[in-house]
Amino acid sequence: MPTLVTPALVCALRPHGEHGAIARLLTPDHGLVAGYVRGGRSRLMRPVLLPGNSVMATFRARTEDQLAGLTVEMAHSRAPLYAEPLPAAAIDWSCALTAAALSEGTPHPALYRALDGVLGAIEAAPAARGWAVALVRYELLLLAELGFGLDLSRCAALGDADDLAYVSPRSAAAVSRAGAVGYEHLLLPLPSFLLAGGTGEWADIMDGFALTGFFLERSVLTDRRVDILAARERLVDRLKRAVA
């Protein structure tokens, strides 16, 4: 990757040196890419490098193994959303999850499109219910892209596809109401919007977050990802208080 010019979504930023920063950006065709931004912590660059912003990025490196130098131009700012607690928490979590979960340089075009869609929904929806479903679906897609997808096609116990209502925490497979009799307390509720599409009631949405959160914590956000999980807990807590 001597030079790469691409649209990208800012996912994470950390200080590097006295004035610089390392930004991790999700790109359409090259997955997550990191680069060093000279003056990345300056008053001029901080608003550009906010997670959730859409930018045009130029990465330049002498070798494949070298950390690329990065320059960015703003394509679309989502900075105004940071003034609102719920949208800010949703952007913080969705971008932090992406940066923590993906390996650099592995293409995930479906995730790029999905994250761009989630960020657009957070920006456009008049209320949280308009984007919360999209965020649950994004988490489900990320699990699948990383090889930890849930099998929601048929009942793991009976083999049919009728009245699926739960997911087994052990097998990550759906279970029907009939197949779950006597074991409901051991299973995770499966919200209907993950099967039928459309929107969901708040109870279903919170069940969706509980479902994806279980598998993200078990399979993806392991070891030292405490700060990442804290971002998710803040989001879920704010959603619960908003609909209480």
Residue 20 contacts by C-beta under 8 Å, 6 or more apart in sequence? 36, 37, 38, 39, 40, 41
Cα 181 from chain centroid (whole Å)? 33
Which residues in 66-100 are b (16+ Cβ under 10 Å) and which e?
Answer: eebbbebeeeeebeebbeeebbbbbbbbbbbbbbb
Which tens digit of pLDDT belongs to each residue from 147-170? 999 999 999 999 988 999 999 999
Residue 74 in this model has a pLDDT that exceeds 90: yes
Q: What is the CATH number of domain 1-77?
A: 2.40.50.140
pLDDT of residue 225: 66
| Confidence at residue 95, expressed as pLDDT on a 0 to 100 scale | 97
The pLDDT value given to residue 126: 83
Q: pTM (2 decimals)?
A: 0.93
Domain with CATH 2.40.50.140 in the chain: 1-77
65-143-217 Cα angle (round to 5): 95
